[in-house]
Structure 1
């Protein structure tokens, strides 16, 4: 009989989505046995919905529970680092929402703790999961796509004053950033997942949509290590919400679907540059294995890693690359300069990208 891991979820906002999409569809693999939230009404509502008996306002109780195998952290961003470190020290496996930490120094601290813990750490980047992105990844990795030329990533979402009528949103101390951190980080991770690491960044950020501390508009120009050029644009003032990747390679062009919160889903528009390339691509993806979308796919892949004792499907190194891009964009916007990656501990924003 396969092992069933017991999960404690801290934070019942986005945590509910983890349960609905990630754990309930894999009831043979996971059992959510405890919930934690400061809001008792929300805590009890979600616990009642899924029949979870164990409920608490104190995360320490979950950390100390020897029956819990996995701590799933879905709190506001400023609490992530402390809870991840605590869970790793307790020997738990850890799932953590974005951003993993609030600085590059913190993510390096987490990675050191991870190396000495028996638990596996998996940051959440659910946009990597879906039929569309899986097909694109397979084509690129096979070499059939050829030389990468250029790409765009657009996060055009809408957030109004009502969204920021919340004690932690829109503030540097609690949300840690704006559209770049809380909204576009997933699509930017998908870009590097398909196109590889970044070499240089030039960017501008601004606050144009809402009366908040953090940015809600971003434009950035990237030079990838493979020579491709990419541009990132994000705003929280769009009338129509879309997330879109567009990638041009030597032998094929990819365009994601435009669903704001699930751009990895199929179908993607895959346009071969020739009939010959098209035939090879169609043959390659004809037997593409099915993959769950969003949290469903990521939690299924995490289970395989837990059982096999292998590397998680999304790693702390992936989270560091995402936060390195965030740091570079903020620094470039502030200094009006080109920023070369990777960023080391000597960089002026290594300990914090916040102003």
Structure 2
């Protein structure tokens, strides 16, 4: 039996609690932690976790002597590194919500702690556990469509003006950034996974067009160039009505997309496409896609099951700290390019001031100044993406 603790009982914690509760024979929620303990108590009642103990800090949890094997870090990004390192020092394994941390320095400190204390750390990127993305990756890797030459990544969300009223949101210090870091993190992980690595160069534009109670961007456009000459564009937004997220891979022989679609062209003698497309290849791609078995669990539940299996079998989780760091590195490059209004190169080295949170804060563009905030919102529905 794996004993788990949820640190941070805000909106996203529900996905973690429900995921763990899917496997009652394998794990048990032993503790709920929040700086507002009444929120943890409310979660305890809502999910009928009668045996779970409530704490008002992760320090109190770790000092209690309660047996905890797995800590789920579901707090604001600025606190991830400290909670993670303290928990690993206490011998706990981790599943850390996205983003891993706001800076590469913090990510590296977390990775060093994982090795030092001999524990296992997973980073949440639950969309890899969605059938649409898992199967898209399989289709791209099959080679049927040829190499990816151009990718279009749309991380399109919508959040009302009051979204940034919450005390930690909309600040570079506490949230670490806007949708580039906190929403597109999912889709940036996807393009890293599909491409198999980071780009060499990044250019970006950052803007805040709808949220004047936030220091950070609410919209960004990034252009990426890879070593093999392929390119990608990433739009990160909380201003798009409809939240129509998607990823399109323009490959040598066909277009592949999630939600799933494929189109393949074949040329006429004049270079224009034949009207009926390449139906033979399209059928082959559709048949291949349909032949891929569905994942047994999707989203957070799928990733939680993978982490439980890794702990039970002594293996690595599918999404590791190294994966989380790559995502943060690309996001850092997008911010650096946007702040400096120029193309930047990767990797970002330790000597680069953008390697640290202090350097990011020193250079961050404040689109507006946050003048007022609220401690908590009343409970309400949240959106976690359409794939």
TM-score scaled by length of structure 1? 0.91
The question of whether the paired residues in 2 share the 8 Å contact of 1:170 and 1:214 is answered with yes
The whole-number CA distance in structure 2 between the counterparts of 1:62 and 1:76 is 18
Instruction: Please tell me whether residue 168 in structure 1 is matched to residue 182 in structure 2.
Output: no
Mark the CA change 1:56 to 1:25 in structure 2 (over 3 Å): closer, same or farther: same
Describe how 1:295-314 pairs up with structure 2 within 5 A: 295-314=300-319
Q: Could you say which residue in structure 2 is the equivalent of 1:152?
A: 152
2:75 alignment partner, SS class: coil
Q: Give 1:1-355 correspondences, 5 Å limit.
A: 4-13=1-10, 14-20=12-18, 22-52=19-49, 53=51, 54-64=53-63, 65-197=65-197, 198-211=199-212, 212-257=214-259, 268-272=260-264, 274-278=278-282, 280-282=284-286, 284-291=288-295, 292-352=297-357, 353-354=360-361, 355=364
CA contact (8 A) 1:221 1:232 kept: yes
Encode CA deviations 1:22-41: one digit per residue, 9 max, x unaligned. Answer: 21222232211110112233
Quote the offset at 1:162 in angstroms: 1.6
Q: TM-score, normalised by structure 2?
A: 0.83
Q: How far apart, CA to CA, are the structure 1 residues paired with 2:146 and 2:293? A: 23
Q: Which has the larger radius of gyration?
A: 2
Measure how far apart 1:251 and its partner are.
3.0
How big is the shift at 1:296?
Answer: 1.4
Greater per-residue strand proportion? 1
In the alignment of these two chains, the number of paired residues is 341
Q: Greater shift after overlay, 325-334 or 62-71?
A: 62-71
Give the Cα separation in 1 of the matches to 2:140 and 2:247. Answer: 14
The residue that corresponds to 1:260 in the other structure is none
**Cross-structure match for 1:265:** none
* 1:100 match: secondary structure: coil
Q: Which moved more, 1:60-69 or 1:116-125?
A: 60-69
Judge conservation of contact 1:148–1:226 (CA < 8 Å) in 2: no
Q: Could you tell me how far apart the structure 1 residues matched to 2:233 and 2:244 are?
A: 16
In 1: Cα distance, 2:258 partner to 2:33 partner = 36
Counterparts of 1:119 and 1:295 in 2: how far apart (Å)? 21
Unpaired runs of 5+ residues, structure 1, are 258-267
Q: Which stretch has the larger CA shift, 274-283 or 36-45? A: 274-283
DSSP-derived class of the 2:165 partner: coil
CA distance in 2, matches of 1:153, 1:183: 12
Q: Per-residue displacement from partner, 1:153-203 (whole Å, max 9, x unpaired)?
A: 112221122211211110111111111111111111112211232111001
What is the Cα-based RMSD across aligned positions, in Å?
Answer: 1.8
1:109-143 CA distance string (max 9 Å, x none): 11111111221000111111111111111122233
CA contact (8 A) 2:15 2:301 kept: no
Cα contact 1:92–1:118 (8 A) shared by 2: no
Change (3 A) 1:226 1:32: farther
Extract unaligned runs of 5+ from structure 2. 266-277, 365-387
